[in-house]
Structure 1
Amino acid sequence: MTFLAFGNHTVRSLINSPYFQLKKFLLLVDKYKNDKVLLKLLETKKIAYQLLDKNDFSRYSFDKKNQGIVAFIREYNYVSLNSLLKQKSNHRFPLLVMLDGIEDPHNFGAILRTCAALKVDGVIIATKNQVPVNSTVIKVSMGGVAYVPVCQVNNLLEAINELKKNNYWIVSTVCQPGSQEYNQIEFNFPTCIVFGNEHQGIKQKIIQKSNSAIYISMSNNISSLNVSVSCGIVLARLVSQWERNELKNNHNNNKS
């Protein structure tokens, strides 16, 4: 099914992304007729485009913040779990995010934006009870979806089994007895962090299969955070830990 992406930065980011099959572009002629870089890129990629005047462009019911540029997307290319595991990591250790039943496309989009900013190696979702990559997800991610591979699997439990075979440590974000505070754990191993549904959290079977569980301590009678906010806090802490350790190791190596 064809879906849409809007906005200059977002749409441009999709052109070179390996995860999108683009059908055509509609461009407001007054804004893009002299944009030789964009037009040349579209021609090189063999992506059809039309330059429309304001009247013709306004006949379409596009998002008001379209900035005069719209991409028609033929398909989003989900990656296989096997290819996700084979790719080179962006960090000292491979880092994946698994989402258990995220239903709100705004949350999914915000998570993808965070994952792109922190160079997460990939996001794993299920085919059922999970919002797919769609127009809203692309819009909220502000182009982040172009840089992070998303793997869609039939069964998250089976995916966890495969991750464990590849030496991944599965960490569920839950608030329950036995959980560790998120800033007290050392992530010195390939890691997959699981974030749960906006209402029910992570399924118990997934928690039981996890190697450990972490929580974010809170005060002022705040009992929980939005899942995309929790994702940002945990991932930022993990990535900064790895970066600090890397700097420390480089410093020690230079001294010796």
Structure 2
Amino acid sequence: MGTFLLPNGPERNFWLLGSTPGRVTSKPVLRGKNADLWSKETLVTIQSLSAIEHILRHRPERILSLSCQPVTKPSPRLEEILFLAKELGLSIGSHTKKEPFSEPLIAHIKPFEYALWSDWVESLKDDPKALVLALDHLQDPQNLGALCRTAEALGVRGVLIPKDRSAAITPGAYHASVGAVETIPILQVTNLNEALRKLKEEQFWIVGAALGEGSKPLKETPRFDKIALVLGTELEGLKPSTLSTCDWLTEIPLKGKVQSLNVSAAGAILMFEFSRV
């Protein structure tokens, strides 16, 4: 049945696009113009309730279909998301617990759309102050997603990632970012150092996070009007070629016995500090 019994109200039916009310389908129901162009290979499947809700509220046009496990008493959170989807005219199919989905609600969305460099740079020209984030071949999609979540929350203007040998926007990144990857410009660049040099031409200072000789404590780092903050991997840090591109190197003083931070934790501290300018 496609019927969901709400805890404090009458029985409500969730309509499926192109079907009769109260019926469900075990297959994804694609919606919108050119929906037939999307295949299972190109669809991105999101299983995070938080990510799905974020996309529903801010980028609903990106969702092709939703699928929910049949329930008689949905949680208040699930109930709210289902009503939001219905109000937006989205189709809701169904799936069973036997299928490889860990969450009660899943969303099939269009392939991720990276921002275009020319459009993005143009959007920064009239902004006297701006902070962008550049990631030097980060490998973990979870860290990528967590950094994008923090960046979006703090008003960072964009995230740069290399096209090759780097984590990309995967379902794992969607989950870790709670959908924030959809509401912040993310750019895939062929050559990160070349992209950073182009940002210098736009009056950005390139500030790299690095430990060791030549690096200054965070409190001694000038709060430049336009900053491109560059983070490296936890194991290797910034690559030598990236270090040479930076105008300034900074580090977070650690006072405890632990002498390193996860890159997403370090990035959160640095983005917060530089976003206060």
Change (3 A) 1:19 1:27: closer
Distance (Å, rounded) in 1 between the aligned partners of 2:143 and 2:175: 11
Partner of 2:46: 5
Q: 2:115 aligns with which of 79, 82, 97?
A: 79
In structure 2, which of residues 69, 83, 86 is the aligned counterpart of residue 39 of structure 1?
A: 86
Pairing of 1:21-36 with structure 2 (within 5 A):
21-30=62-71, 31=74, 35-36=82-83
The within-5 A match list for 1:83-162 is: 83-87=119-123, 93-162=129-198
SS of the residue corresponding to residue 57 of structure 1 reads: coil
1:19–1:77 Cα contact (<8 Å) kept: no
Corresponding letter in the other structure for 1:58: K
Which residue does 1:58 correspond to in 2?
Answer: 97
> Rg larger in 1 or in 2?
2
Residue segments in structure 2 that go unaligned for 5+ positions in a row = 1-41
Q: Measure how far apart 1:37 and its partner are.
A: 3.2
2:182 counterpart letter in structure 1: A
Q: Flag the structure with higher helix content.
A: 1
Deviations 1:9-58 (A, max 9, x none): 310212355598433211245447894432121x2xxx5432x3xxx432
Q: Percent of pairs identical after alignment? A: 22
Secondary structure of the corresponding residue to residue 213 of structure 1: strand
Per-residue deviation, residues 167-201 of structure 1 (Å, max 9, x unmatched)? 11100000121211112222232110000012111
CA contact (8 A) 1:27 1:69 kept: yes
Instruction: Identify which range, 13-22 or 116-125, moves more after superposition.
Output: 13-22
Aligned match of 1:49: 92
Superposed CA offset, 1:55-92 (max 9, x none): x43232112xx2x2211123000002222222259x86
Instruction: Please give the secondary structure, in 2, of the residue aligned with 1:25.
Output: strand
Match for 2:174: what amino acid?
I
Q: Paired residue for 2:20?
A: none
Return 161-170 or 77-86, whichever deviates more.
77-86
Q: CA distance change for structure 1 residues 101 and 155 in 2, over 3 Å: closer, same or farther?
A: same
Q: 2: CA distance between counterparts of 1:19 and 1:159?
A: 31
Report the Cα distance in structure 2 between the residues aligned to 1:196 and 1:117, rounded to whole angstroms.
Answer: 21
Q: Structure with the greater relative contact order (CA < 8 A, sep ≥ 6): 1 or 2? A: 1
Listed one character per residue, the Cα deviations across residues 185-221 of structure 1 (whole Å, up to 9, x for unaligned) are 2223211000001211111111111111101111334
Cα distance, 1:8 vs. partner?
2.9
Partners of 1:18 and 1:36 lie apart in 2 by: 16
Alignment of 1:164-179 (within 5 A): 164-179=200-215
Q: Which runs of 5+ in 1 are unaligned?
A: 243-256
Q: Determine helix, strand or coil for the equivalent of 1:76.
A: coil
- The within-5 A match list for 1:217-232 is 217-232=253-268
Q: Tell me how far apart the structure 2 counterparts of residues 92 and 228 of structure 1 sit (CA, whole Å).
A: 27
Please report the TM-score for the alignment, with normalisation by the length of structure 1.
0.81
Instruction: Determine whether 1:191 maps to 2:238.
Output: no
